[in-house]
Structure 1
Amino acid sequence: MLKVETAGELPPLASLLSAYAGQDAPRHRLVWALDARFARLVATTSEPMIGQMRLTWWNDALTDDSGVKGRGEPLIDAMRALDAAPPPGLTPWLDGWEALIGEIDLRAYAEGRGGGLFRALAGRDDIPEWLVRAGTAWALWDLSGHVGDDGVADRAIALGRQNLLSGKQDWRPEWRPMRIAYHLARQDMEKGRRAPAGLTPALYLRLMRVALIGR
């Protein structure tokens, strides 16, 4: 159902967003790489039980205090080397991806993947509810550009529009990559437009604009 990125490759948009994390860019790249790995896992799973078992393995490996489970897996080794394992928000993050296995639950997917991913990028669990909601909206926008079912893509955009933020938010400097990601999603969803399947020149220019002026 999902379109799969090349194995081991960080999506171009994620790579660009990570560049705005400053000194925290190495950790951001690992978080995005982990999200891409979960996406590939879900995209290549045909049996729900097998997919659930694979996601459970990642949870167990990333939360293993002994550092034994998962040793030799380059991504896990790299996260441990940066003292970034387990990432904050891991449980809802994995639950969100699991919501795409079998019968799709878009709301559970968006709240879990988006909220978990934004917690992981922030490096803390106690982020404001509005930032979780921003992650929820972003996740739905992102899915709309990678799912092969037009109906699911359209429902994702419709649900994403319901999660757009209102009022003024206090985007801290360290949340700049998430601010850029959210506003890219917002621009498309306000127009009922799906996310592009990849990093198009138009999306790149929009990213530069948001990075410079904030919207």
Structure 2
Amino acid sequence: MVHQTMDQDDPLLATLPAVARLALVYAPASAREQTLALLALDARLATLIRRSNEPMLAQLRLAWWRESIGHDPAHWPEGEPILATLRSWGADHARATALVNAWEALTAPSPLAADAMLAFADGRGAAAAALAQVLGRSNEAEPARQLGRIWALEDLAMRLGREEERATAARLAAERPGKLPRVSRPLRPLRVLAGLARRRRRAGSEEGASSPAAMLEALKLGLLGL
């Protein structure tokens, strides 16, 4: 059983996809807020891209996030829960802009080319490596980066709108190392995200990340580190 508990009243939890909420369960208390900041920002940017009909509009909104995150937190607008949670990143807060850069790569012309997909993966990977730094695990920055890239490409292989795009993303995902990098407990949520995203692609359906077997897989990845 997982003994880590979460504040169910946290408004950011409701904004996370189910898989991200599951991954967050495996973050120890000392890493929970920092990990939540990363996952909530990722979810917000995904929604921004999904709801923007024009690439230019999406880029303008992404620019606001990039500039806001890059500023001194003393100048951050009040009432934005993601920025409030991102304060937990301390002096490394600006490194979260890598996630903004990742999502901006998806505003490239359609059909999305492999280069744009790899740029998305690099951005998520850089954000995951930044999380390792924030959590005092700089020695694990590279495996965290690899997990972020795997999570990104496996996600694209199921989420992109065109069949040809999904096929390209699936090919890129399949080129990643077959075995997920091992990381210490504070970074295990990244392993859960990467592992369940890969499981979902291989199953060819959302059940690949939500079935009882997937829950057992999450337990192995997040708690036991297997």
State the identity %: 29
Task: Tell me what 2:210 maps to.
Answer: 200
User: 2:106 is paired with a residue of what secondary structure?
Assistant: coil
Q: Is the 8 A contact 2:34 2:89 kept in 1?
A: no
Could you tell me which of 56, 74, 91 is aligned with 1:67?
74
Specify whether residues 106 and 193 from structure 1 end up closer, same or farther in structure 2 by C-alpha distance, changes over 3 A only: farther
RMSD, aligned α-carbons: 3.0
**5+ long unaligned stretches in structure 1:** 1-6
Matched AA of 1:62 = I
**Number of corresponding residues:** 204
Task: Name the CA distance, whole Å, in 2 between partners of 1:212 and 1:44.
Answer: 35
The alpha-carbon distance between structure 1 residues 74 and 128, as it changes in their structure 2 partners (threshold 3 A), is closer
1:78 paired residue number: 85
2:188 aligned partner = 176
- Structure in which a larger fraction of residues adopt helix: 2
Whole-Å separation in 2 of the counterparts to 1:35 and 1:214: 24
Whether the aligned pair in 1 keeps the contact of 2:200 and 2:208 (CA below 8 Å) is no
- Equivalent residue of 1:100, what SS? helix
2:36 corresponds to 1:29:
yes
From 145, 150, 170, the counterpart of 2:158: 145
Give the counterpart of 1:13 among 19, 26, 39: 19
Using the TM superposition, give the Cα deviation of residue 176 of structure 1 relative to its aligned residue in structure 2, in angstroms.
Answer: 1.7
- 1:198, 1:85 → 2: CA distance? 38
Distance across 1 between alignment mates of 2:67 and 2:55: 18
Q: 3-state DSSP class of the match of 1:72?
A: coil
Read off the aligned partner of 1:164 and give its amino acid letter: P
- Aligned twin of 1:136: 149
Return the alpha-carbon distance in structure 1 between the equivalents of residues 208 and 75 of structure 2. Answer: 36
1:150–1:197 distance in 2 versus 1, CA, 3 Å: farther
Query: TM-score when scaled to structure 1?
Result: 0.79
Task: Report the more deviating stretch, 126-135 or 148-157.
Answer: 126-135
Runs of 4+ in structure 1 over 6 Å off: none
Question: For residues 84 and 154 of structure 1, do their structure 2 counterparts lie closer, same or farther at Cα, with a shift above 3 Å needed?
Answer: farther
